[in-house]
Amino acid sequence: MARKKKMKWQSKGPNFSSKDGSTTMNVDGDEDNGSDGGEGENAAGSDVVVSPSGDSEPTSADYYFDSYAHFGIHEEMIKDTVRTKTYQNVIYQNQFLFKDKIVLDVGAGTGILSLFAAKGGAKHVYAVECSLMADTAREIVRANGYSDVITVLKGKVEEIELPTPHVDVIVSEWMGYFLLFENMLNTVLYARDKWLVPNGVVLPDKTSLYLTAIEDADYKNEKMDFWNSVYGFDMSCIRKQAMLEPLVDTVDANQIVTHSQLLKTMDISKMSSGDASFSAPFKLVATRNDFIHAFVAYFDVSFSKCHKATGFSTGPKSRPTHWKQTVMYLEDTITICEGEALTGSLSVAPNANNPRDLDVTVQYSFSGKRCQCSRTQHYRMR
């Protein structure tokens, strides 16, 4: 089954290759993240990142946070109607959660969620944004007449002085690719532990990570196996590196070969930061006779405190979002028959050297009528 070619897309944070073979600029799909670095232009017009610590050499964190000062990132996320309309509906249709409440918007970006909360009846909203976008958010708040209700605070959540000792509601769009890559979860948990009142509300409050398997021969052959022989030369060392890096892209639902397996559900109102590192077993049962070339991860987001539980999915059978899905290619091509099961475990943890990177290890084994294999593969999102 051929996989459709994809257009050039913008990735969150790292360089990922798109299906047209190009490499896109570094951005992050989470509007609610921020920068603690400065930005300017030199004589040639290129960006200059200034370390907030005053050091002459900016750190990788400075570059990462500074990316949130660019308008294109926020445009992409706001135009993600699945994402933005869900937050809007949650707030407008559940005003009992916001009426006369103190709200904290963690990683406010343009301030869109703060505006929703203010319009939804919040007594006051504190919008915390670390990037230069905070200045723009302040202007947006003023232009829409909410300066008396929304206070924009520029800085890291972990470093700012909040003008109130407690908040009733925390709202944030903290999720990253693969749910956990370059996310703001730890920042949300920090804010929860420091400011949220007992029985306060965190929105969203639950997320679930899933795994499935797909057929994707054309792309794997074209982009991965290509390196085995390049104009007669062995460049397979590049293939090894390419296999280590998951691809973020939209998967056609017709490519799915197995059922999905729930790997992890996180309750943001109760969990600790260590819960985001985990190992989970999986059993993927084939729904038809086909080949398996890759695992695909996606996540669901839930707002369970609403009158009517609501949320959205980033899965391949749902409406597309800017998170797309995360594809991890296999060294093996697995021939599987309907009803047979591919089993194993998936482990996730921040990289020891760079906690913004995510290490994913998949151990899998299969013994079917036409194929047997067992392997451990390591991936790194960066």
State the pLDDT at residue 187.
96
Q: Extract the tokens encoding 271.
A: 């969990």
My answer on whether 130 and 254 are in the same domain is: no
What's the confidence (pLDDT) of residue 29?
A: 35
Task: State both tokens at 267.
Answer: 């309750």
Domain-located, residue 313 = yes
Among 164, 180, 203, give the residue marking a domain's end: 203
Same domain, 248 and 371: yes
Q: Give the whole-angstrom CA distance, residue 246 versus residue 227.
A: 17
Instruction: Tell whether 51 is covered by a domain.
Output: yes
The Cα 61–Cα 51 span in angstroms is 9
Residues of the chain with pLDDT under 50: 1-56, 60-61, 63-65, 67
Q: Write down the pLDDT at residue 285.
A: 99
pLDDT at 139: 98
Give pLDDT, residue 183.
82
Look at residues 203, 218, 250 and tell me which one is the last residue of a structural domain.
Answer: 203
Decide if 1 is inside a domain. Answer: no
Q: Which of 145, 171, 203 is the last residue of a domain?
A: 203
Active site residue 39: no
State phi, psi for 142 to the nearest 5 degrees.
Answer: -65, -40
How confident is the model at residue 26, as a pLDDT?
32
Please check whether residue 341 lies inside any domain of the structure. yes
Calpha distance 378→346 (Å, rounded): 10
pLDDT, the chain, mean: 86
Token couple for 225: 């196996």
The reply to whether 158 belongs to the active site is no
pLDDT at 225: 86
- Report whether 210 contacts 298 (CB < 8 A): yes
Write down the pLDDT at residue 205.
98
The predicted pLDDT at position 57 comes to 54
Task: Give me the domain span that covers residue 37.
Answer: 6-203
In a domain, 27, yes or no: yes
- Do 191 and 219 have their domain in common? no
Q: Which CATH number fits the domain that encloses residue 88?
A: 3.40.50.150
Structural domain count of the chain: 2
Question: Whole-angstrom Cα distance, residue 324 to residue 265?
Answer: 19
Annotated catalytic residue within 129, 173, 215, 340: 173
Same domain, 172 and 121: yes
Residue 69, pLDDT score: 57
State the catalytic residue, choosing from 129, 182, 215, 340: 182
